[in-house]
Structure 1
Amino acid sequence: MPIYNPALKNLDMKEIKRYSGLTKASEFPPHLLEQACTEAQIISQPKVVWQIYDYNPNTATIMSPEPLTLSSTKISEHLKNCLQVIVIAVTIGSRLEEMVSEYFTKDEYTLGLLLDAAGTTAVEVAADQACDLIRQQANQKGYSTLFRFSPGYGQWDITVQPQILSLAHAYEINVTATPSCMLLPRKSITAVIGLTPNACQSAPTSPAKNKSCQQCQQVNCLARKD
């Protein structure tokens, strides 16, 4: 698939505060929040690439040239009605995290923290835009899309990251993984999106469902939504 370049027209400042862990901060410099939001929109270079594969729900296997069997019972249950899956990689590049490091070096910790959170918000926005496009294309072919499911969530071991990167052709947008399976650039996402024939749809398709903190076991997370 060709590389898709989302446009980051709007970043939700409430989301930036949430990702920064400052949602409940009593005193907060709004101008720094606005600056972080603006800088993130300017310096982010969002890129998305994805590939589509047949899927065998009986064996929870992505039928790629080197088939990948999914080890998590939660993702296999999530994809139980799927005949195809899309493996996707998203990034906003490395410039933003370089800027964050520069702010920390200059002791501008609050701005650095907010810019880092704005980067997280930006890559989520880019992923959501790509998912919207994928959903539209799938609907035209009689399929519905399930919410994206990423390694490291739902008991899906993060060690699968290298295989997911390979299946997505993430090398085309320069996304790699460290030996500990963390993504580089850090503001990147990989995921699997299930495709179900419209007549078989039974799992949630709402992109908001993917972000629901109620589905996450990290109950003490500072970014958790109430």
Structure 2
Amino acid sequence: MIKYINQYSFSFDELNFNEEKLFEAFRDFSTQNFPLLEELYQQLYPSIKQNCKPVAGYKYFESEHITFQKNILSIDNIEFNLGPIIYRDLKDASDIFIFVCTIGSDLEKEVQKLISEGDTISAFILDRIASELVELTADLLELKIQNELNTKNYNLTNRFSPGYCGWSVSEQRKLFSLLPEDFCGIHLTESSLMIPIKSVSGVYGAAFNLIRKDYHCDICDAEFCYRRKSD
């Protein structure tokens, strides 16, 4: 049975970060640099495994708590201006999950330590790996939610986060207002930056026998989007 609030703690091994995912995360690198990348990863691996502490959770809202109208999603009377791209995917959902996930702050500290030691190449590589590990944490949370929904033949939409696909990052604070304080150990700064930095938040839609659509990268101009990198 799906819970209304749920939180998970994962191990680094559960994220299944392997060599294939390492090279995918650095696909903009020349393949000539892959041997160096692999060498530095092996050097960083003990620290990554020790300091990556994945935590993820969600809050579940059934249909009576949500409404959709003209690019607007309302959850418990809090309005989110999703914009047309996200609205197109979510408008057929009957239920909504608000989620957050993080790998904690220890890897961020390791990045800063490497910078202070002048090892900017290792710091850059570790920082990007940490970003990938957050996304893998979100992927694992998605699997957990979908497995719980399988009992009622519900499917999830793609996940969407403030700051992407035309959804303003300024609405992050509204999102967090619907979650318990410091949920999963994450809080917001005055400028709506998540702390720890290596964190992700957003929403899923869910509905009976919902057909999941592809991301609309062809009509989105956000060059920084991690989904665009995989195209």
In the alignment, does 2:35 pair up with 1:31?
no
CA-atom RMSD in angstroms = 2.6
Checking the alignment, whether the CA contact within 8 Å between 2:102 and 2:199 is kept in structure 1 is yes
Aligned length: 218
Deviation for aligned residue 1:84? 0.7
Checking the alignment, whether the CA contact within 8 Å between 1:49 and 1:170 is kept in structure 2 is no
In the alignment, does 2:196 pair up with 1:190?
no
Encode CA deviations 1:138-180: one digit per residue, 9 max, x unaligned: 1212211111011111100000011112324361222122233
In the alignment, does 2:97 pair up with 1:86?
yes
Aligned to 2:189: 178
Instruction: Show structure 1 runs of 5+ residues with no match.
Output: none
Aligned to 2:169: 158
User: What SS is found at the alignment partner of 1:133?
Assistant: helix
Q: With the length of structure 1 as denominator, give the TM-score of the two structures.
A: 0.84
Change beyond 3 A, Cα 1:22–1:37:
farther
In the alignment, does 2:78 pair up with 1:74?
no
Aligned to 1:131: 142
Amino acid at match of 2:229: R
Aligned to 2:9: 5
2:131 alignment partner, one of 96, 111, 120? 120
User: What SS is found at the alignment partner of 1:61?
Assistant: strand
Deviation for aligned residue 1:221? 7.6
Encode CA deviations 1:86-115: one digit per residue, 9 max, x unaligned: 000001111110110000000111111111
Encode CA deviations 1:44-83: one digit per residue, 9 max, x unaligned: 111112101132234643433x533334222221111111
In the alignment, does 2:61 pair up with 1:61?
no
Deviation for aligned residue 1:13? 3.9
In the alignment, does 2:117 pair up with 1:106?
yes
Checking the alignment, whether the CA contact within 8 Å between 1:44 and 1:95 is kept in structure 2 is yes
Instruction: Show structure 2 runs of 5+ residues with no match.
Output: none
Q: Quick one: percent identity of the two aligned structures?
A: 22
The runs of 4+ residues in structure 1 deviating greater than 6 Å are 220-223
Distance in structure 2 (CA, Å) of the matches to 1:136 and 1:221: 27
Distance in structure 1 (CA, Å) of the matches to 2:187 and 2:81: 20
Amino acid at match of 1:195: A
Change beyond 3 A, Cα 1:118–1:156:
same
Distance in structure 2 (CA, Å) of the matches to 1:42 and 1:177: 25
Distance in structure 2 (CA, Å) of the matches to 1:137 and 1:192: 16
